[in-house]
């Protein structure tokens, strides 16, 4: 067989892809019918596909390409590290320079006494580590029954058996026998969809107090930890009411429940601070990291852990680890990514320039007849599509049908924007410039216009 390259016709690549490549979160039959979009190269915030289209990537890949595409420094560092030491493990009391340097740097960047890093290859793996670590921690402190982890419906914490169990996506639990035992889900602080007649503030408090109710019902001596994303990403960029997080922190403190902040999306500048925990002002015991840690240039994740927990875990042997925990090439790439984020003041750019500009321009979409609310925090944005914004109504037809049409209209206008049900969400590279944000918002507005025309033509602009 001849080499498969960028120069092959798109249809041939698509046919081979459909024949041999099993895709995550994709219906196989659709692939056969329509073919996958083939992305061939990228620079800054712009992707190029196999037909030469230039597409503004308002999702930063999968929420991860924080420093933008095409940074040759990371390629140089990876090549250098591969020549010097492509691989060695960190098991059985061995280490290497990239793991030393990256863990030291992360301890410096992370708030308070979050000073210890357990490396993984991804966010899913890191959350699997967290399940075993918090249960082991309590067992080593003589409380083996403290094993339940409380999470939230519509949370996303990964796709492995453990992390998928922590997540609250019911369509994931339906496949493969999830969740594992001793995971308990409470409701999410999603005011737009579930707030009913309550104000945002009342609703935020009510949803936080579900944690307290769950702890009292399950028994304080049974609950090990609460895990949550500071701002839910894959669930549809759910920005909690301001009352939510202070109450959650109070409850975790009161009942001695470990707080795990899943920073896989919010970390590394996404919300205008280094960590989302700083934006929502919480004090986690463990932070899950991945995605923006390496800006997606190499697969790496981990758990950043407080002194006291690391001391307890370190007082025995933690029978856990991955072949690629602290992989030297991935660690070197991550370190270079952090250097760029820091030296080019990219987090400050988000906070002072990009986020305020996005909030202003993205906010104008709320005036569109198809849009109920348009919100953003840092560089995470969401809009709710609705036939009746007054009532915050859902559409009469299948949930997600209108969102899907809108996503397709975005693609047709060279914009990658994702839909979660009938919400549209964005999470662009952090280096996006104000004029690129203007392009993003004007393409989104055009896609909304076309969606509006289309669904009225189809007769599905109707409230449930």
Ligand X SMILES: *Cc1c(COP(=O)(O)O)cnc(C)c1O
Q: Which residues bind ligand X (CB under 6 A)?
A: 122-124, 127, 156-158, 229, 233-234, 262, 264-265, 290-291, 301
CB closer to ligand X, 50 vs 232: 232
Residue 163 CB, nearest approach to ligand X (Å): 6
CB closer to ligand X, 206 vs 305: 305
Residue 258 CB, nearest approach to ligand X (Å): 17
* CA gap 88, 95 in Å, rounded: 8
Taking the CB of residue 111, how many other CB atoms lie within 10 A of it? 15
CB closer to ligand X, 234 vs 251: 234
User: How many Cα atoms are found within 13 Å in the side-chain-facing hemisphere of 146?
Assistant: 22
User: How would DSSP label each residue in 310-329?
Assistant: HHHHHTS------TTTT-HH
Sequence-ordered list of residues with C-beta below 8 angstroms from that of 276, at least 6 positions apart, any chain: 229, 230, 231, 261, 263, 265, 266, 267, 270
Q: Do the bridges between strand 54-57 and strand 415-416 make them parallel or antiparallel, or are there none, so unpaired?
A: parallel
Q: In what order do the strands lie in the sheet with 39-43?
A: 39-43, 46-49, 54-57, 415-416
Residue 275 CB, nearest approach to ligand X (Å): 13
**Helix, strand, coil percentages for the chain (3-state, nearest 5):** 45, 15, 40
* CA gap 434, 357 in Å, rounded: 6
CB closer to ligand X, 331 vs 447: 331
Residue 202 CB, nearest approach to ligand X (Å): 27
CB closer to ligand X, 206 vs 227: 227
CB closer to ligand X, 14 vs 337: 337
Residue 123 CB, nearest approach to ligand X (Å): 2
319, 125 in Cβ contact below 8 A? no
Residue 167 CB, nearest approach to ligand X (Å): 8
| DSSP type of residue 232 | B
Q: Give the residue closest to ligand X by C-beta.
A: 123
CB closer to ligand X, 235 vs 387: 235
Residue 369 CB, nearest approach to ligand X (Å): 31
List the one residue out of 188, 237, 262 whose CA is nearest residue 59.
Answer: 237
Crossing angle of helices 307-314 and 123-140, in 10° steps, is: 70
Residue 326 CB, nearest approach to ligand X (Å): 16
List the one residue out of 404, 405, 386, 406 whose CA is nearest residue 396.
Answer: 386
CB closer to ligand X, 212 vs 263: 263
Q: Do the bridges between strand 380-385 and strand 371-377 make them parallel or antiparallel, or are there none, so unpaired?
A: antiparallel
| DSSP type of residue 233 | S
Measure CA 342 to chain center. Answer: 21
CB closer to ligand X, 287 vs 335: 287
CB closer to ligand X, 238 vs 370: 238
CB closer to ligand X, 241 vs 299: 299
419, 407 in Cβ contact below 8 A? yes
Residue 305 CB, nearest approach to ligand X (Å): 17
Q: Can you tell me whether residue 304 is helix, strand or coil?
A: strand
Measure CA 386 to chain center. Answer: 24
Residue 74 CB, nearest approach to ligand X (Å): 18
Taking the CB of residue 147, how many other CB atoms lie within 10 A of it? 19
Residue 274 CB, nearest approach to ligand X (Å): 16
CB closer to ligand X, 152 vs 409: 152
| DSSP type of residue 444 | H
Residue 284 CB, nearest approach to ligand X (Å): 13
Burial class from Cβ neighbours inside 10 Å (0-12, 13-18, 19+) for residue 2 reads: exposed
| DSSP type of residue 366 | G
């Amino acid at each position: 067989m001849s080499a498969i390259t960028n120069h092959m016709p798109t249809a041939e690549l698509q046919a081979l892809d459909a024949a041999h490549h099993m895709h995550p979160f994709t219906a196989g039959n659709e692939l056969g019918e329509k073919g996958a979009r083939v992305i061939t190269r990228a620079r800054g915030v712009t992707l190029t596909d196999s037909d030469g289209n230039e597409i503004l990537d308002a999702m930063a890949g999968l929420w991860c390409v924080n420093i933008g595409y095409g940074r040759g420094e990371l390629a140089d560092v990876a090549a250098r590290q591969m020549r010097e030491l492509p691989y060695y493990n960190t098991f059985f009391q061995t280490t290497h320079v990239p793991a030393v340097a990256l863990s030291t740097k992360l301890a410096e960047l992370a708030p308070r006494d979050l000073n210890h890093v357990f490396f993984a290859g991804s966010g899913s793996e890191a959350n699997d580590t967290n399940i075993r670590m918090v249960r082991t921690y309590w067992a080593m402190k003589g409380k083996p029954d403290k094993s339940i982890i409380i999470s939230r419906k519509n949370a996303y914490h990964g796709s492995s058996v453990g992390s998928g169990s922590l997540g609250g996506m019911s369509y994931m639990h339906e496949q493969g026998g999830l969740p594992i035992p001793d995971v308990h889900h409470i409701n999410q602080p999603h005011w737009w969809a579930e707030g009913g007649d309550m104000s945002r503030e009342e609703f935020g408090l009510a949803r936080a107090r579900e944690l307290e109710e769950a702890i009292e019902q399950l028994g304080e001596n049974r609950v090990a930890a609460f895990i949550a994303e500071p701002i839910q990403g894959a669930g549809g960029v759910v920005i909690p009411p301001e009352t939510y997080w202070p109450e959650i922190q109070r409850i975790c403190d009161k009942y001695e429940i470990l707080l795990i902040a899943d920073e896989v999306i919010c970390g590394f500048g996404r919300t205008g601070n280094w960590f989302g925990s700083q934006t929502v002002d919480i004090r986690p015991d463990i932070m899950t990291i991945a995605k923006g840690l390496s800006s997606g240039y190499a697969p790496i994740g981990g758990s950043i852990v407080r002194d006291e927990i690391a001391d307890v875990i370190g007082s025995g042997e933690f029978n856990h680890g991955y072949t690629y925990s602290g992989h030297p090439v991935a660690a070197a790439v991550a370190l270079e990514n952090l250097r760029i984020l820091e030296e080019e003041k990219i987090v400050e750019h988000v906070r002072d320039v990009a986020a305020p500009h996005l909030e202003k321009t993205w906010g104008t979409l709320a005036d569109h007849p198809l849009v109920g609310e348009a919100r953003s925090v840092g560089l995470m944005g969401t809009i709710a599509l609705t036939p009746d914004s007054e009532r915050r109504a859902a559409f009469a037809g299948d949930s997600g049908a209108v969102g899907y049409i809108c996503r397709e209209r975005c693609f047709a206008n060279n914009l990658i924007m994702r839909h979660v049900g009938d919400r549209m969400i964005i999470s662009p590279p952090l280096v996006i410039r104000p004029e690129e944000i203007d392009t993003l918002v004007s393409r989104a507005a055009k896609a909304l216009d076309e969606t509006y025309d289309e669904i009225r033509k189809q007769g599905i602009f109707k409230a449930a």
